[in-house]
Chain A
């Protein structure tokens, strides 16, 4: 049976200390391997737990960072891998299980049918965001409005990391930052006239692993928001 996506497709899973969830995520992604994916790659951002061993035991390709850089750095390594190994499409999903692989067909169908460069999985096109804290929701809505205004696009969830790309479009984008990379990338993509669409994807609050929204994050959140806001305005 032929694959549903014309071209070579990579599933990229950046991971840092995700031993509790990465195995399950790989098993779920594999269900779509025959129809949609050619290869699964986990970029291990120098985890200190058993993430790497679990991925290797599953027989999945693992690219291990020598030093810990941050999620944006792991994503960059994945992009570089996709370009270097001449993949045509890339699907990016988190290792914490928040991005359900059952949406991979839906995201790819949107990308192919609408001839998009980038499709973002949005939790604001359904009810799944309702369990999020007010601070988190306010942050996401604020950045989404800002990017929509500055980039002249109409999106609902700019911070979502569940994305499907045409690799040719990735080549046109600059190196993203280590933190809050999704916001800048979305804005840059809109400035470069790449076609961006969204798909409704449920993303309930993560159950496994350590959430990136801990007390420290809340403390730094306003400062980081100002930093990202300035970066976006200055480099827009």
Chain B
């Protein structure tokens, strides 16, 4: 087993452990849990059976297994980044609306007192 494969397995185990502990304490929603479980298992399987990447490498028309791994990682990161950006935007809007509502509510209540 090469170093990079071992690192992949360790990162996969860490993701599984963290996801399980977060969902057990109800601090993560099910969809996020499923996503990180898939990523964690994928890393472990890729570390234990690196020949899988040879198949994907041929499928994508790439020359090296390492490049294939990085390419998949980068594409997945783009999707996650996009999702995170959209989520942040959505949350910012919600915070902004709450800010408006709370400030007006406080002001009206202060006047009543």
Contacts and interface: CB of A to CB of B under 8 A. Distances in A.
Interface of A: 43, 61-67, 69, 73, 76-77, 80-81, 84, 178
Nearest to A81: B104
A73 B96 contact: yes
B104 A76 contact: no
Interface in B48-96: 95-96
Given A80-B104, A81-B104, A84-B104, A61 B111 contact: yes
Interface string B97-113: 00111111011000100
Contacts of B104: 63, 77, 80-81, 84
B107 A66 contact: no
Contacts of B95: 67
A63 B96 contact: no
B103 A43 contact: yes
Given A67-B95, A69-B96, A178-B96, A61 B107 contact: yes
B103 A77 contact: yes
The listed residue with most B CB atoms (<10 A of its CB), out of A63, A65, A69, A84, is: A63
A66 B99 CA distance: 6
22 contacts: A43-B103, A61-B111, A63-B104, A63-B107, A64-B106, A64-B107, A65-B99, A65-B100, A66-B102, A66-B103, A67-B95, A67-B99, A69-B96, A69-B99, A73-B99, A77-B100, A80-B100, A80-B101, A81-B104, A81-B107, A84-B104, A178-B96
A76 B106 contact: no
A112 to B, nearest CB: 27
B94 to A, nearest CB: 12
Nearest to A84: B104
Contacts of B103: 43, 63-66, 77
Nearest to A63: B107
A83 to B, nearest CB: 10
Given A65-B100, A73-B100, 18 more contacts: A43-B103, A61-B107, A62-B107, A63-B106, A64-B103, A64-B106, A64-B107, A65-B99, A65-B103, A67-B95, A67-B99, A76-B96, A77-B99, A77-B103, A80-B100, A80-B101, A81-B104, A81-B107
Nearest to B106: A64
The listed residue with most A CB atoms (<10 A of its CB), out of B95, B99, B102, is: B99
B112 to A, nearest CB: 12
Contacts of A61: 107, 111
